[in-house]
A and B are shown apart, each in its own frame.
Chain A
Amino acid sequence: AQRVTQPEKLLSVFKGAPVELKCNYSYSGSPELFWYVQYSRQRLQLLLRHISRESIKGFTADLNKGETSFHLKKPFAQEEDSAMYYCAVFGNEKLTFGTGTRLTIIP
């Protein structure tokens, strides 16, 4: 069965500093990986997926199959980035989420 590990429950970063939210996965097949975000008082929503290779709100994530990682990065944090971030892997016809990282941007 697939599994997602987000080692940091809480992460605080100063505004303007780089951000990296870590995600490691285990899945025997070819994985589809996602980052979902939940802003305060909003519902959970998709931030980005690895197959799109896109940058959303300045965030990027690169799939590293050798390290089985899909870390989320942004070079300069903004206050509006404060939110809960979940990494997820799609496999066996199901989406499995990690425990999430609460990112707080310090003004």
Chain B
Amino acid sequence: EADIYQTPRYLVIGTGKKITLECSQTMGHDKMYWYQQDPGMELHLIHYSYGVNSTEKGDLSSESTVSRIRTEHFPLTLESARPSHTSQYLCASEGEGYSPLHFGNGTRLTVT
């Protein structure tokens, strides 16, 4: 089924660990996005990609990095997690034209 998937759904990890949040979509969309959302706050765009080998930083500065080696895969990596990284991370993809964003279920990250 065409969809967008995020794993893990929840992650609790200690300070200093390296983590990768996975995002995959099977809709063949070129555009993909990562948003960060703290409870009760707006979604902040942290990374986006318009296709393979294309990545850009979003409006909110983030210590995370992303890669886009394949169309369907857009992982986000934190080299050294800190408590300030505790947040919800939402991945989304977008088709051509005036298509809406399709969101994943999100990953809720807690860094202790």
Contact = CB atoms under 8 A, between A and B. Distances in A.
Interface of A: 1, 4, 9, 32, 34, 36, 43-46, 49, 51, 86, 94-100
Contact of A97 (B42, B48, B105): B42
B59 A34 contact: no
A46 B101 contact: yes
Given A94-B48, A97-B42, A51 B98 contact: yes
Contacts, number: 40
Given A32-B98, A95-B45, A44 B90 contact: yes
B100 A34 contact: yes
A3 to B, nearest CB: 10
A24 to B, nearest CB: 14
Contacts of A99: 40-42
A62 B63 CA distance: 38
Interface of B: 33, 35, 40-43, 45, 48, 58-59, 90, 98, 100-101, 103-106
B43 A1 contact: no
Chain B, interface SS category: loop
Contacts of A95: 33, 45, 101
Given A32-B98, A43-B106, A49-B98, A94 B40 contact: no
Nearest to B6: A43
Contacts of B35: 97
B98 A43 contact: no
A76 B110 CA distance: 40
Contacts of A9: 40
Name the 10 nearest CB pairs between A and B, nearest first.
Answer: A46-B100, A44-B103, A97-B43, A99-B42, A43-B103, A97-B42, A43-B105, A98-B42, A94-B45, A99-B41
